[in-house]
Amino acid sequence: MFLVESTLRSALAPSSALASALPAAAPQEAAHWEPFLPGLVVLLPLLGFVANGFLALRAARRSSAAVRAGKEWSPIAGSVRPRTHTLPTWIGPGVMAAAFGLAAINFATAWGAHLAEPVIAGPYWTWIATETLRIDAALQLDALSLAMTMVVTGVGFLIHVFSVGYMKDDPGYPRYFAYLNLFVFFMLVLVLGSGYGTMFVGWEGVGLCSYLLIGYWFSDVKKSDAGKKAFIVNRIGDFGFLLAIFLIFQGFGTLDFMPVSAGAAGEFAYGGTMVTAITLLLLLGAVGKSAQVPLHVWLPDAMAGPTPVSALIHAATMVTAGVYMVVRSSALYALAPTSQAVVAGIGVLTAFVAATIAFKQNDIKKVLAYSTVSQLGFMFLAAGVGAYTAAVFHLVTHAFFKALLFLGAGAVIHAMHHAVEHGDEPPAGHGHMDPQDMRNMGGLRKHMPVTWAVMGVATLAIAGIWPFAGFFSKDEIIWYAGAWAGAESNPFGGLYVAYWVLALVTALLTAFYMARLMVMTFHGANRTGPAASHLHEAPRVMIVPLVVLAVLSVLGGWLNVPEALHQTALGLFGAVPAEGLHHWLAPVVHAAEEIQAGAIGEASKSAPIGGGELAWALVSTLAAAAVVIATFRVLGRRSYATAAADPGPQTALGRFLHGKWYFDEAYERTVVQPVLAASRWCWKVVDTRVIDGFVNFTGSFTRVAGWVASVFQTGQVNMYAFVLALGVLLVLGAAVLLP
Amino acid sequence: MLLDYSSGFHYLLALAPEVVLSVAGMVVLLAGVTGKREGGPGHELGWLSLAGLAAAAVANGWLYAGVAEDGATAMIAVDRFRLFANWIFLLGAAFAVVVSLDYVARQKLQAGEYYSLILFAVVGMMFMASARDLMIVFLGLELMSIGVYALAAFNRRDRRSAEAGLKYFLLGAFASGFLLFGIALVYGATGSTNIHDVAVAVQEGTAARGLLLPGVALLAAGFAFKVSAVPFHMWTPDVYQGAPTPVTAFMAASVKSAAFVAFLRVFLVGLGDVSSEWGPILWWLSAATMVAGNLIAVVQSNVKRMLAYSSIAHGGYLLVALVAGNDTAAGGLLFYLLVYTVMNVGAFAVLIVAGNQSERGSRIEDFGGFGWRNPVLGVFMTIFLLSLAGFPGTGGFMAKLFLLQGAVEARLWVLSVILVLTTVVSYWYYLRVAWYMWMKDAPEGTAPARLAVPIAAHAVLLIAAGLVLLTGVFPGAPLELAMGAVEGLVEVVAGR
Amino acid sequence: MLVEHALLLSALLFVIGSLGVVVRRNAIIVFLCIELQLNAVNLAFTAISRHVGIEGQVFVFFVMTVAAAEAAVGLAVIISIFRHYGTVGVDKFNLLKW
């Protein structure tokens, strides 16, 4: 197998077809590039895990000694001792900083060398070797994996730093960092592995860590249930992934990415059954991992974990693994137009459904969770319309601004939590105040100006307003969806037009619910009650990562300025190189794009209802901005929760004027109410009935099955002998009668 | 050297590991009887047994390294398949002996009898692995079973142990009857009990099908009992729960391995040409075993019982290899048995350390907070559980992968899907224990005390965990051995 | 001709033994039924060996030996259980069940 690989690599040498087919902007000859200690990037977080895990066990041991000495003891975490915090504080973020540094060196040199063909680091050892199957423990370094590594280590590092402040008072501090480091290790294995086998290791590993971290505060039964739910749903997805791996192996005799993507077109016919089956099964895995409809239900529940975990695992990295996998398998998806339509369909449907559900949520993390689901839907849409670079682009920018939003929310929750704890009396009408409920917030801008500012940046970014990151990435996706719909011979042209329309609507919904979040949290009157005096800005160790992410959320979009906008005002008149990320990723998706170009012809140059890219970019950013402003104006004046004291105006005219001509109400009745009803329906029926019902059903089914079988397990020897004899009769009958 | 069976001495050479171990067993027995004290700790007898096992391993290695047989027809096979399997048994038995040391002393069992029974049972297993004659299969099986019957009932002060022993004995003897009748019918059909001759007769079509097919069915039923395939599994949970835990570990690992090894040789080598007849039967047994074993395991609240159902479920996975019947699956089966022995004994070893013979200590609630009280044991147990579940990076994953590969090569799509699906189910109950260990508080009213772990048990756990991880991360060497061990096995009969 | 008859008889005895194991409650009787099964098999071996050679008769001796060993262990186990429960009725002990 490795022989095949190396011959393949030599066949793909710079002079070969691949290099010459690279886009014009890439140099004709890619310079030779040697990765710098790539194994260490992966190894460092693992070392961090080992060290922190050891410290966690030592802390537990010490506290169990404390119990024997008759002192109070918490069995899980050990007693709170600042001493147990010192080392993890340095080790946890430290290994991440080192890993990020290494990744950055590699990325920079590879970028400089215009890395064209993947470089295999290793094999470090042979993991599986049989006559037919060989899996090496090797890393594949190419444009995609390096970009992903940058995101994972970079955003991961920032979140580790943030956690230092956020988890300061948690007794399980070393354990927390151990899990977090372990997660990063598996995530790096996932994105850097050189084949589907290695990817699966990472895939399972991140799932395990996610499970551990969702249930991190396990004393709460509901939270540990959330972990279980995530676990079950993910296993459904993993099942599909595993079957797909086997089918790939059957087809190619290997699981390495390079021969698979190079040989896909030769192995499978366009639109063939086998390739469609493989891609659909892979999709099942991706849908589970990336929380797409109908397997999205675990992600909102996963918010039970600590907020930095939500930021790292359930927003920036792990949940994007599905998108990564689809892009990695782009050569296969390009061959299966049906699967592509399903990918795009699931993506856009998820985007829409999740966005509507986000409308009605009052828990700040729930809003962000549904928002994440929705944005992941956009990435799937991109991947489904063959715009793989757009998917990765949005993945990267989303990692920046969604991590920022979550960490910002974490800072808010942190502040609320402290305020509630230190507040002398509970606020009126609340026995226990939920620090995550936005109805208890409001006006936090005054107390937390920096958090407000960075959250504002992130909101503008996710809403898709120029010049923030989301503008470029989301606009590109919608644009590609339209272009794909208008492609010469697209078998599902009409369907894609519908997708395109739905995506447009969803983009505006995004602007709305994010603006609502900002309004309810930071603007208007404060509803925290007397505890409000204890609200304060987060400590510096938490603020600094927020600011860095905010900067990235502004600049991230400029990685990939579209060609069409490059020379215009929206592209700052060519000040930034065009399509940087696109050129960078071109070698990765080259095989897929070639297949697509051959199969469905040129993509359309205009949107389905006319207009070029510049026009649409202007329209979309203005529309998003309008929605944000309108939401601020409308919702900003609404008072939440504490409306009881205000009797309101008395005269009809006064009411009419105060009600702003009842525009709000009309709007409410004609637009908001139906949408909210739909949103409630989606949430109530789809989420709680169908999906939860299914999850519960699998649970009760196994229980009933177990019970039925145990009816026979009476402990009576005669009963056992009877069943045994019955079995013999069955076997005997089958042997004698059947043939 | 080449064995020459015209010399009687060479028969002894071919049986070197068995002979060595039998002698060791007798020495242990005699030492136990002549020892002065009644019910003393008996550690020295345990170490003596270990020495015997080591000597047998050396003899086995000698056969492995340089002894070849002349042809492939003798009653006793001297092939790598047998010798590799022997190592699995010896390893499992050595683990069982070490984890018994403390147990035997604590429960004041008669050490001499106890350890010698283990050794004799291993001799039986080794005979089963070497058997190229149905007569030897039967003798080996009975030698093993009789020893294990006694071991299951060994703790005479515990009525559960007596009950487990009786159930196992009655049902085991009952099942042996079917096996024996099957042997008689196959003998009647083919005119021989030699597996090679049976294969030739079956291949040439001279076997009387009217006798052969019922015979095959009864053989399958007899083996299915020993590997606790559904619906022949009903004794398993009761016996596993009631027997002394070290014996349960021994049974779950080694007894099952031996049964599978003999099952494989008899069916793939001897009866391979009627696989179209027994294939569907084993197919259904396998599917039923995987589904029922896993589903029932989900509802267990006693960890020992859960592990019993888990061992049933693993039997189902292994049956897939028999149905597949190709080299990959057969090699995968040996590799699986190796990994399974290690991880299973490891998991049971933690149970042994964690609890006494009493019910206490094996309820799942008793594992609340276990990991934080006993971090080392907790980490080991987690590794074993993950491996049993088939988590990537552990030997359990690799082993399952090769079974799956064998199944896919044989185009057993449905079985492959069932295997994967039921594995998914199995994550649930394995990780539930891990969940309790790390995520729950200790049950009410128990002093969260740290356990004193004997050094020997620590060593076993360390070795077992190391092997589990080693076979998961670097499976190359053991896998090559396993694959080499089955090379040519299935094709011994010319022309197949 | 004789062989078929002998095999038929053997099968009949075997089935009777099996039925006994399933329906009888006394451990000793159950055990004796198992012995009956083994002896039914012995009959089959002896009958078949008339046609195909001496092997079968050798087998019979082994089976008898094994049966004796089994009896020894089995009776010991039954005595042990009698000490605990004061009965050998197999329906009386189901401490271990589902």
Task: Supply the pLDDT for residue A679.
Answer: 61
Contact criterion met (CB below 8 Å) for A455 and A522: yes
Nearest-by-Cβ selection for A720 from B171, B278, B442: B171
Q: How far apart are the CA of B136 and the nearest CA of chain C, in angstroms?
A: 10
3-state helix, strand, coil in chain A (%, to 5): 75, 5, 25
Q: Which fold has domain C2-85?
A: Helix Hairpins (1.10.287)
Residues of B in contact with C58 (CB under 8 A): 135
Rg of chain B's alpha carbons, rounded to an integer? 21
Residues of B in contact with C37 (CB under 8 A): 174, 177, 180-181
Task: Name the band, by pLDDT with cuts 50, 70 and 90, for residue B25.
Answer: very high
Task: Supply the pLDDT for residue A386.
Answer: 84
Residue A28 has pLDDT above 70, yes or no: no
Rg of chain C's alpha carbons, rounded to an integer? 16
Per-residue tokens: A325: 């996998």
Average of per-residue pLDDT across A292-315? 82
Q: Tell me whether residues B296 and A243 touch, CB distance under 8 A.
A: no
Q: How far is CA C69 from CA B155, C27, C63, C90, in A?
A: 20, 17, 10, 21
Task: Supply the pLDDT for residue A24.
Answer: 40
CA distance A428 to A563: 57
For residue range A69-86, list pLDDT tens digits in order. Answer: 544 444 444 444 456 677
Nearest-by-Cβ selection for C94 from A711, A716, A725: A716
Is omega for the bond preceding A608 within 30 degrees of 0, making it cis?
A: no
Residues in Cβ contact with A697 at an 8 Å cutoff, skipping those fewer than 6 apart: none
Q: Tell me whether residues A736 and B213 touch, CB distance under 8 A.
A: yes
Nearest-by-Cβ selection for C25 from A711, A718, A725: A718
Per-residue tokens: A168: 């300061």
Task: Name the band, by pLDDT with cuts 50, 70 and 90, for residue B496.
Answer: very low
User: Which residues numbered 75-94 in A keep a CB inside 8 Å of some CB on B?
Assistant: 75-76, 78
Average of per-residue pLDDT across B7-25? 89
Task: Supply the pLDDT for residue A429.
Answer: 45
In the DSSP assignment, the letter for residue A439 is G
Contact criterion met (CB below 8 Å) for A265 and A331: yes
CA distance C67 to C45: 15
Q: Tell me whether residues A64 and B448 touch, CB distance under 8 A.
A: yes
Task: Supply the pLDDT for residue C98.
Answer: 56
CA dihedral sign of residues C39, C44, C46, C49: negative
Is omega for the bond preceding A294 within 30 degrees of 0, making it cis?
A: yes
Task: Check CB contact of C21 with chain B, cutoff 8 Å.
Answer: yes
Average of per-residue pLDDT across A465-470? 84
Task: Name the band, by pLDDT with cuts 50, 70 and 90, for residue A67.
Answer: low
Task: Supply the pLDDT for residue A298.
Answer: 79
Q: How far apart are the CA of C21 and the nearest CA of chain B, in angstroms?
A: 8
Residues in Cβ contact with B421 at an 8 Å cutoff, skipping those fewer than 6 apart: A239
For residue range B31-76, list pLDDT tens digits in order. Answer: 888 865 555 567 888 999 999 999 999 999 998 887 777 676 788 8
CA distance A224 to A213: 10
Task: Supply the pLDDT for residue A327.
Answer: 92
Q: What is the mean pLDDT of chain A?
A: 77
For residue range B120-173, list pLDDT tens digits in order. Answer: 999 999 999 999 999 999 999 999 999 999 999 998 888 888 889 999 999 999
Q: Tell me whether residues C22 and A725 touch, CB distance under 8 A.
A: yes
CA distance B76 to B195: 11
Task: Supply the pLDDT for residue A74.
Answer: 44
Task: Supply the pLDDT for residue A16.
Answer: 37
CA distance B19 to B10: 12
Task: Supply the pLDDT for residue B254.
Answer: 93
Residue A414 has pLDDT above 90, yes or no: no
Average of per-residue pLDDT across C21-38? 92
Task: Supply the pLDDT for residue A17.
Answer: 39
Average of per-residue pLDDT across A573-600? 79
Task: Supply the pLDDT for residue A658.
Answer: 44
Q: How far is CA A492 from CA A281, A342, A591, in A?
A: 21, 11, 22
Adjacent-strand bridge partners of B302:
B363
Q: How far is CA B323 from CA A320, B258, B404, in A?
A: 39, 18, 12
Residues of B in contact with C27 (CB under 8 A): 166, 170
Task: Check CB contact of C45 with chain B, cutoff 8 Å.
Answer: yes
Helix (H) or strand (E) segment spanning residue A134: strand A134-141
User: Which residues numbered 182-221 in A keep a CB inside 8 Å of some CB on B?
Assistant: 200-201, 204-205, 208, 211, 215, 218-219
Residues of C in contact with B183 (CB under 8 A): 41, 59
CA distance B206 to B149: 39
Q: How far apart are the CA of B22 and the nearest CA of chain A, in angstroms?
A: 33
| Number of CB pairs, chain A paired with chain C, less than 8 A apart | 33
Residue B245 has pLDDT above 80, yes or no: yes
Helix axes B16-34, B43-66, angle to 10 degrees: 170
Give the torsion through C-alpha atoms of A519, A525, A531, A533, to 10 deg: 100
Nearest to B129 by CA among B71, B185, B63: B63
Share of residues in chain C with pLDDT > 90 (%): 54
Task: Supply the pLDDT for residue A427.
Answer: 47
Q: Where are the domains of chain C?
A: 2-85
CA distance B419 to B421: 6
Burial B94-111 (b: 16+ CB within 10 A, else e): bbbbbbbbbbbbebebbb
Contact criterion met (CB below 8 Å) for A75 and B369: yes
Nearest-by-Cβ selection for C30 from B164, B170, B188: B170
Nearest to B414 by CA among B326, B290, B272: B290
Residues of B in contact with A724 (CB under 8 A): 171, 174-175, 225, 231-232, 234
Model pTM score: 0.75
Q: What is the mean pLDDT of chain B?
A: 86
Task: Name the band, by pLDDT with cuts 50, 70 and 90, for residue A733.
Answer: confident
Q: How far apart are the CA of B190 and the nearest CA of chain A, in angstroms?
A: 17
Residues of A in contact with B235 (CB under 8 A): 720
**More confident site: A448 or A644:** A448
Task: Check CB contact of A525 with chain B, cutoff 8 Å.
Answer: no
Per-residue tokens: A176: 């927390």
Task: Supply the pLDDT for residue A501.
Answer: 87
Grouping H, G, I as helix, E, B as strand and the rest as coil, residue B342 is helix
For residue range B171-221, list pLDDT tens digits in order. Answer: 999 999 999 999 999 999 998 889 988 988 888 888 888 889 999 999 999
CA distance B390 to B398: 8
Task: Name the band, by pLDDT with cuts 50, 70 and 90, for residue A436.
Answer: confident
Residue A261 has pLDDT above 70, yes or no: yes
Helix axes B80-107, B455-473, angle to 10 degrees: 150
Task: Supply the pLDDT for residue B258.
Answer: 95
Per-residue tokens: C2: 């004789």
In the DSSP assignment, the letter for residue A78 is -
Task: Name the band, by pLDDT with cuts 50, 70 and 90, for residue C55.
Answer: confident
**More confident site: B324 or A424:** B324
Adjacent-strand bridge partners of A126:
A136
Q: Which of A72-81, A279-288, A566-575 has the highest mean pLDDT?
A: A279-288
Residue A227 has pLDDT above 80, yes or no: no
Contact criterion met (CB below 8 Å) for B181 and C44: yes
Helix axes C2-23, C27-52, angle to 10 degrees: 160
Backbone angles phi, psi at B154, to 5 degrees: -70, -35
Q: Where are the domains of chain A?
A: 1-6+33-194
Q: How far apart are the CA of B146 and the nearest CA of chain C, in angstroms?
A: 6
Task: Supply the pLDDT for residue B357.
Answer: 40
Q: Tell me whether residues B166 and C90 touch, CB distance under 8 A.
A: yes
Task: Check CB contact of C89 with chain B, cutoff 8 Å.
Answer: no
Residues of A in contact with B424 (CB under 8 A): 235-236, 238-239
